[in-house]
Structure 1
């Protein structure tokens, strides 16, 4: 197999928004989540493009707020799919649940780690493949800056459009280099979501502090891995809106 090397960097502006604590809306947590923040790219002139949004979820311990869990929301715009899942911010290994790139198969696992955002923000996602090893890494590094509310729309003006152009431009470059195109698995394997959930049972670390014993999957639109105390690590799939809808 011939390996193709490719690297690129893009400048992007993101925002951090305080949200309703997600413990009020989900049963994903065994801890008491009291504050949560959403890292995302806001829509601009009616267009939305967010390949990845992150919820940072905090728990109060005494007088200190500690980052306990994160929720990732991954979208593959060309196919109109979105998946959400819980992970440990320090480090976690997630079975790949979504066909994100037409140049990668579904066999890899995502190694994810981040830190509580302060003046600086860091996020790293690496793909661990059973045959290709650690063959892809994406990082996000950001620095907090003041953005007056009056200039908010101008600050993020056309940012989603720029992200979309960058994504398709680099996809074109990979195609031009001869990287094989991989079809979405839904056209050949209708059970790809269930298979991702089963693989995640083998590498799930999100609830390692509670138990290593996970019970069988349950659910329909969402596939759950439940521990013996009833806590969930789950993938939740749903349709994503068209970017300008």
Structure 2
């Protein structure tokens, strides 16, 4: 634990120095870029609000403004590091049409994306239908990631990742996402066996005209840093409100990923009616949603591993 804390403070200082240096160089980079100015036809820009509300065991809520980019991954110019390509996303989602990625781009050497979404369309006759999405969830500060397919109209997913040290692994994510157009929205609520529907997070955003943005580097300047600050600041607030700190399950339950997969299989094939006293899912055969879901995890880096 001591090594992890030292690493955390060291990474914060390193990120601060890198951000400061690249921010000082940013005006010169902008001047060079404007000499070879070209419009980015492979992305759309969005601006909106993220809202979080925790209702139990204490009430805690906050909002902050956020900016996102929606990338057309089929464009050769939209190749992004640390994310799936269009072909990889189609293979994972089992779709045949275009793929778009909603994400916060890197800014002055730093990237922070608690949730990125892939919108995977199917080609049906002459129409494009959004049949599947891929969620890419990353936790802070560990940097672990889980990727899975969900139905954007509404889906229930067994929690597969330790996202917050103030939430245990007993719960399901109810997730839905609208088709991105002039507006987009994403909503996630947590259904817990003892706390009930105790947490909700939403993103609501509107498309921004590219002509109103002078440069994308300025548009997203310090946006990932702002998200990280909100994560750490509200973690401190929850600790101050005496919300129990929960250690990463890899220390107490190394098989938590396998258990999440089994719980999700029950959700997919059965009609869930609740939980029993041992926090096991109570379910009855359904057969209407029997397709298996696959979770793909990326491990934490040293020293979190």
Normalising to structure 1: TM-score of the pair?
0.83
Do 2:93 and 2:120's aligned partners in 1 also have CA atoms closer than 8 Å? Answer: no
Structure 1 position 3, deviation (Å): 2.1
**Does the Cα contact within 8 Å between 1:22 and 1:33 map onto a contact in 2?**
no
Q: Does 1:130 align with 2:193?
A: yes
Q: 1:36 offset after TM fit, Å?
A: 0.6
Aligned to 1:98: 161
Please show how residues 29-178 of structure 1 align to structure 2 within 5 Å: 29-30=93-94, 32-148=95-211, 151-178=215-242
Measure how far apart 1:46 and its partner are.
0.5
Q: How far did residue 27 of structure 1 move?
A: 3.7
Q: Give the superposition deviation at 1:142.
A: 0.2
| 3-state secondary structure, aligned to 1:79 | coil
Larger Rg: 2
Question: What SS is found at the alignment partner of 1:97?
Answer: coil
Provide Cα deviations, 1:89-122, integer angstroms capped at 9, x if missing partner.
0000000000000110000100001111110001
Give the number of equivalent residue pairs.
219
CA RMSD of the aligned region, Å? 2.1
CA distance in 2, matches of 1:213, 1:13: 35
Does residue 260 of structure 2 align to residue 200 of structure 1?
A: no
CA apart distance, 1:191: 0.0
Instruction: Give the structure 2 partner of residue 221 of structure 1.
Output: none
- What is the match of residue 11 of structure 1? 65
Higher-RCO chain (CA-CA 8 Å, sequence separation at least 6): 1
5+ unaligned residues in a row in structure 1: which ranges?
Answer: 206-210, 215-226
Mapped partners of 2:178, 2:259: distance in 1 = 30
* Alpha-carbon contact 2:89-2:118 (below 8 Å) kept: no
Q: In terms of mean alpha carbon deviation, does 12-21 or 195-204 score higher? A: 12-21
Give yes or no for contact 1:52–1:75 (8 Å, CA) kept in 2.
yes
Residues 113 and 124, structure 1, Cα contact 8 Å, conserved in 2 = yes
- Structure with more helix by fraction: 2
Separation (CA, whole Å) in 1 of partners of 2:59 and 2:86: 40
Unaligned runs of 5+ in 2: 1-55, 75-84, 270-286
Cα distance in 2, alignment partners of residues 241 and 65 from structure 1 = 39
1:203-223 CA-to-partner distances (Å, cap 9, x unmatched) read: 127xxxxx6585xxxxxxxxx
Contact 2:181/2:207 (8 A) holds in 1 = yes
